[in-house]
Structure 1
Amino acid sequence: MESQTEIVAMLEEGKGDLHTACKLFDSLETVDLESLLGTWKGKEFHTGHPLDGVLTKLRWYGKKFRDADNVDPLLFEIKKGKVVAVDPVPFMTKRKLSEATGGEARMRMVEFRGKLSATIIYDHLPIHDHLRKIADGKLLGMMDLKGDKQPFFFLLEKLEK
């Protein structure tokens, strides 16, 4: 594993190689569902995945956790200061983005890579976003999309309620 200084630099820069990102994810603490409630600002973590750069270009804002059965997995800033939940199905199928009518996912505790941690389970897509704790209010997420050759990584930072 990289030194703590190298890990901090890698997280701040928002990129690293896939192998190191996986090792870092595996080393992090688990997350419980209650600690997720609220809105989280998102940032991509580039590892060479085909989605690297796409969310940023589309002005991805983050995720919102209302309760265990109502999660907005994709928030986008459509105008300066106006953030809306987007339906992930058109996004993932490369169709025009459309506003979501409500929570398009839920959260559950799921065992993944040897640890039980909070996971976002999308309602209509074979996607699980597994979350691990970097520090209080900071998470590393690993998107597990059925059929993808590698995971997509992202960072989340909790906003004040």
Structure 2
Amino acid sequence: MEPTLLTRRLAALRRMDNVPAEDLDALWADCTPVRAADILGSWAGSDFDTDHPVHGMLAASGWHGKRFESVKVAHPLICRGEDGALFSNEELGRGLASLWDIEFRDEVTASMVYDGQPVVDHFKAVDADSPPTILLGVMNGKGVRHQGRHYYFVLEREA
């Protein structure tokens, strides 16, 4: 699918309240798988209003995004403290994580495996940049699905 069409679809979904999970599933299906080594760096995060409980938890934590130092060292929860400084919230994330290329929904794509909890975030590129600058993420794992639905979020590469 044409990348500019995907970014327009993403922008439209980000403006919505109560985003239908089916729309996020469809966007995910049209995005491009990426490799773990191609997403290293710092990423600013945002999510969708889907009534998923993770949405409120991340907002309350001051979630800023994620940082992938290497495929072996990933910080799943970069948060902004009361003093405005960014920090890796290892307590909330129950440790760090690592990056792997994992099959999810019949495609192999970059995925972040949490060290301290049964959670995996999968990523696909929304844009055609190489390396990608906009990722769609879906959180997967034990106890993550809410009313049968995954939690979706967006990452945008920071300079």
- Shorter-chain TM-score tier: 0.7 to 0.9
Structure 1, gaps ≥5 residues long: 93-97
Letter in 2 for 1:123: D
Q: Residue 152 of structure 2 aligns with which residue?
A: 153
Give 1 or 2: higher helix fraction: 2
Structure 2, gaps ≥5 residues long: none
Q: Residue 109 of structure 1 aligns with which residue?
A: 101
Q: CA deviation at 1:48?
A: 2.3
Q: Residue 137 of structure 2 aligns with which residue?
A: 141
CA contact (8 A) 2:121 2:138 kept: yes
Matches within 5 A, 1:1-161: 4=5, 5-11=8-14, 13=16, 16-87=19-90, 90-91=91-92, 104-135=96-127, 136-147=132-143, 148=145, 149-160=148-159
Normalized against structure 2, the TM-score is what? 0.82
Aligned length: 146
Give the Cα separation in 2 of the matches to 1:12 and 1:156: 16
Secondary structure in structure 2 of the residue aligned to 1:52: helix
Percent sequence identity over aligned pairs: 27
Normalized against structure 1, the TM-score is what? 0.81
Give the Cα separation in 2 of the matches to 1:6 and 1:79: 34
Q: CA deviation at 1:58?
A: 2.0
Secondary structure in structure 1 of the residue aligned to 2:53: coil
CA contact (8 A) 1:31 1:118 kept: yes
Calculate the aligned-residue CA RMSD, in Å.
Answer: 2.1
Letter in 1 for 2:122: H
Letter in 2 for 1:143: M
Q: Note closer, same or farther for the CA distance 1:155–1:15 as it changes in structure 2 (3 Å cut).
A: farther
